[in-house]
A and B are shown apart, each in its own frame.
Chain A
Amino acid sequence: MKKAKRMAMLSDSHMYESQDPLHKDLAGKNTKGEQLIAKSMKENEGRFILSLEEARGIGDSDFLFFGGDSVTGYGERGLIGPDSLDHINKFKKLMEVYFPGLPKKYMAGGHEVGYILPLSTDPEGGLSEKSIQVFEQNFNELYYSFTEGRYKFVVLSSDLELCSKGTEELIKRRKLQQEFYKDEISYAQ
């Protein structure tokens, strides 16, 4: 009997304190919410390592899928801060240490490409051409599809889909992603 492919799925590790105004020196700030986030960020690398250890222990994974928000990034602006590349490299190194050579697929979250949410405070936050470029240079395409067994996976950027205002390039990118998933799904068997 043919063995089913196994995919380990991890997400939202939110590692490393960033130098952006929202996440810098959180522990020294006063609100309970900020203190909670600061405590969590300090522990997140340890928790992510525990997840990787457990996933390796289970064994038999054919590939890894990471669902976004790997590192804090430059807060609401995504991976465009002075410390972002260092954080990306630390994250990818951890993935490689625990799963050397195993295929890895990445999905962009807001902390990779920039986000605007109800709790957002950064007027310069949100998706940008630069953050998308950094993601695609360091991980993989922003949106793509792949097939495993009888399953076709369509991986999309939620921040691109939710981007209602922005530069002409971003609006064009959103339209292209919409055409992409409509084609992929319409022509699926």
Chain B
Amino acid sequence: MVIMIHDPDALVPMFPFLKNNIGKVERTFSGHQHAQWVNKIYPVLCQLASSSLLEIPLKPIFNKFFPGKADAVWSYFSANRHNAHIWKSLNLTIIPAPGGMLGVGGGFLVADLEDEGIKVSKIKIPKLKS
């Protein structure tokens, strides 16, 4: 069984059911996060958002990029610190955006559906000529 779902956050409300069928879920693929590295640093972002000490210097920096949005983003990450554990147990792979996130980690995936398992390769794309 392979689950395909755009935003991996949706796996969280599904998890009470999925955990009882975990042996049936061989892999999960999502988009949304634009690069595998975003998924990898997600637990770190959750930790940062849960630290009241780091909140003071980091929030103004974030607000510079997205004015007035820091509070919403902070509460999102601090409330979702268990997501990464759920994703790991469902063997989640992010299908990258062509440009990745902030220009890093972009490309696409090729999956060979072999009898022994799904062999996934990430393919980088050449840099866009300006």
Residues of A near any B CB (own CB < 8 A): 4-14, 31-33, 36, 40, 43-44, 46-48, 50-51, 54-55, 58, 61, 65, 67-69, 107-110, 118-119, 148-159, 161-162, 181-182, 184-186, 188
Contact = CB atoms under 8 A, between A and B. Distances in A.
A65 B3 CA distance: 13
A118 B75 contact: yes
Interface residues of chain B: helix, strand, loop or mixed (majority): mixed
Given A12-B34, A148-B113, A55 B4 contact: no
6 contacts: A8-B109, A43-B128, A50-B126, A118-B75, A155-B5, A158-B10
Interface in B34-54: 34
Interface string B44-81: 00000000000000000000111101001101100000
Given A43-B99, A151-B118, A51 B65 contact: no
Interface residues of B, number: 54
Contacts of B76: 118
Contacts, number: 183
B87 interface: no
Contacts of B64: 31-32
Given A31-B66, A47-B128, A151-B2, 8 more contacts: A5-B112, A31-B65, A46-B128, A54-B125, A69-B6, A107-B6, A151-B1, A158-B5
Q: List 10 tightest A-B contacts by C-beta distance, closest first.
A: A11-B31, A67-B31, A158-B10, A12-B97, A158-B7, A47-B98, A68-B6, A11-B95, A161-B10, A33-B65
A145 B1 CA distance: 10
